[in-house]
Structure 1
Amino acid sequence: MTFILIWITTFKNAYRIDASIRPRIRVNYLERADHTLFDITFTGVAIQFMLSVAGYSWMYALTRRSKLSILAALPPFLLNILYLGTHSLCAALDVFTWMSYGVIHFISPFLAAFWLWLFASPGVVSIFAWTFGIQNCLGIITHLSFPTAAPWYGDQYGYPLPTGNYSMPGSAAGLVRVDKVLGTHIYQNAFKASPLVFGAFPSLHGAFSCCCFFFIARYSRRGAFMLGFYVLWQWFSTVYLRHHWRIDLLGGLIYSAFVFSIFYRSLQRMDKAFALGVSGGNGWQRLFEGTRLQHAFDGKPGYEVVMEMSTDDESYDSNRSSVHERRADLEAAWVDDLGVTWKSKDPSVTTKSQG
C-alpha cells in the first residue's frame, strides 16, 4: 500500500511543483516515435520484430514454456491491428470504449485483488499490491521527468504544434462525445482540472490492465482469456479516444512486465507453500472451510502426502502424474516447476522431483 499511496499523493499534487524547475514539455516526441516504431516501413518492421523477440525471450526466461512465450511476442503487431479500427467514429464505439477507459479501468484493480484473495495462493494479493504500486510510481516519475503530449494535443491546438506549458488545461478528448451521449460534463470537467496534463508516456491505463492480466492469467486459464480481452479492449479504447499513442501502451506493458518479473520468484515460493499446505488455504477455502464448497474450485489437496521422487526412468511418468495431482488446486496456467526441490517450514514435508 505504501507505493500506491505515494503514487496517488504525487499525482494529486503534481500541479504544486514550480513550473520553473520542471523539464521542457516534448509535444512532438511521441508522435514521431510512434510512427517510427509502428509504421509499416523497413525500420518500423525491424523494430517490431526486435520487440517481439524481446517479449518472447522475457516470457521464456520466466516460464520456460515456448508456446506461452509466443503470446508475449505479439503485442507490437496487435497494437497495429487495433489501431486500424480507431479511425471510424460512432456513438456505439464511443460507449464501448468509455466502458473500458472510463469505468472498468477504475474498478479493475479492486476486482483483480479480490479474485486473487479468493482463489490464488495466500499472500499473492500483497505481491499484486506491491507490483501495482511500484509500476505506477515508476510511471509517475517518468511523467514528471519526461513530460509528453497525448494525441489530443494536436487535435486541440493544431499543427504545427505550439510549445507546451504547464498552465494548459487537460482535455477529455474523445470522452467529450461520451459526455454528450450521457448528457453530462463529468469527463470534460475532470480532465480539464487534471493535475498532470503532460503524462502520456507510459500509459498507466495500459499498465493497469496488463498488471491485472499477469496475475489473473497465472492462476486461471479462463481468467487469462477474459483479462486478455480486457487488455486488448483497453488498448483499443485509449487510442480510439485519443488519450494515448501506441508507444504509450507498449511502455505501460513494459513497465508492468518489469515489475512483475521482480516478484515472480516470490509468487513461485508462495505457490509451492500453498501446494504443500504450509501456508493454509486461500480466501475461498477459509470462507467455506468444512463445507462442500471449500474445494469447489480447486479439488481437495493431498497435503498430508509426502512424496520422494525417483530419478530412474521407469518411475518418472507415474511420479510426474502424482505431482500434478497433488497440485491440482493451483489451476495455474503458467506454473510447471518440475525439476526443483520444494522446501516447507515443516522439515518432515519435502517434495523433490527430477525433471
Structure 2
Amino acid sequence: MFKYLIVVSPLGFLYGSSGAFLSPENLIGRSGSKFPPDAATLAGLFFSENKRHEIAPHETLKHELFVSGPFWAKQDDPDTFYVPIPRHRLIEDDKDDEWKLNAQRQWQRDPAKQDIEIPYRWQSIDAWQRNASKIRNNQEMSKVPWEYVSFLHPQMKSDERHVLDQDGLFLENAVQMDEDHCLVYLSTYPLPDGWYRFGGEGHMVEISSQEIKPDSPIYELLNTKIQKACALIVPGIWGSKHLSHRYPKHSEFPRAGMKMLTDKPIPYRYRIGQRSTQRGRLGRGRYAVPPGTVYVFKKPLEKTWWDFPEEWFPREGLPLKHFGCGLCLPVEIDGVA
C-alpha cells in the first residue's frame, strides 16, 4: 500500500513537453505539451537517486516501488491534495449536475442541462464521497494552479557568458505554478528531503516526503474495497504495447454488464530507461483512458486497486501498475443498488 506523499515544489519554471501527438497546439508552438509530469518521471528519479542515497537494494526497489499521480495541493496542506473529479459529477460556479443510471442501466441526466463542458475538473480528496452540490457549496473544487507561459530564452556562447550574435534568442514554452502550491505523488518509499532535478528538462525542485497517516482521507479510501462503482484518479493504460483498450482485457476482469462514463482518450508515453550501453528510449506511444472515468459493475468487485492482479496491466520493463496505472477509488452512483 502507498505509505508516503512525495511533495514536489517547483523552483521557478517547469516544462510541459512529453512526446508530441498530433493536435491543434502543434501548430502554435505547444507541441505535445503535458503537465504535470506523470508518475513514471518520479519513478525514474527514485532509481537514479538510489545510487546516491541507497533508498533500497536495486532489485528490492524494482519489485516494491509503486508510485502514482500526479496530484497537487496547497503548500501548507499537502495532505488535502486535489484529484480529478469523477466524470459523473458536473460542477460549475452556480449549478451542479450528476449523471445517473436508470432502470435499464443507461446513463442519463437532466435533459434541460445541455452543456457538459465544465470549468472545474479537480476536487479535494477529503470531499471524494460527497455529491456535486455539497462539493460546490463547500468550495472544495478548483481550477489548476498553473498556467502555460512563453518567454525568450538566451543561447549562450560556449566560451563566455554572452548571447550568440546570431539566433541567440529562442522562444521557450514553460509552465509556471502558483508559489503557494505544490505537486503531490503517492509512493511506497520516501525520497530524502532536498533539491532535485525533475522532469525532462531537469529543472530544480524541492522535494519532501510525508508519511500517510492512518486517519487521512486517502488512507481510508485506498483501503476501502470497490463495490459496484469506481473512478480513475490517474490515466488508465490497458491493453498491450500495440493496442489500447478501455478496460483490462483479462478473463478475470468483470466485463459482463459493465458500464462506463468517460471522455476522449489522452496521449500517454514514458521513457523506458537504459538498456546496456544504449541511451534510454521512449516507450511506445499509446492512448490512455482519462482520469475521472467511471466504471460501474454488475456485481460487487470486492477489491481495492491494490488487489488488482498485475496481469491486468500492460508490461513494459515493469508492469504499469508500478507506475500507478489506473489507480481508482470507490464512488457511489445514483441508481446503482
Structure 1 and Structure 2 fold alike (TM over 0.5)? no
Structure number, greater radius of gyration: 1
State the TM-score, normalized to the length of structure 2: 0.23
More strand by share: 2
More helix by share: 1
Between 1 and 2, higher relative CO (CA 8 Å, sep ≥ 6) is seen in 2
State the TM-score, normalized to the length of structure 1: 0.22
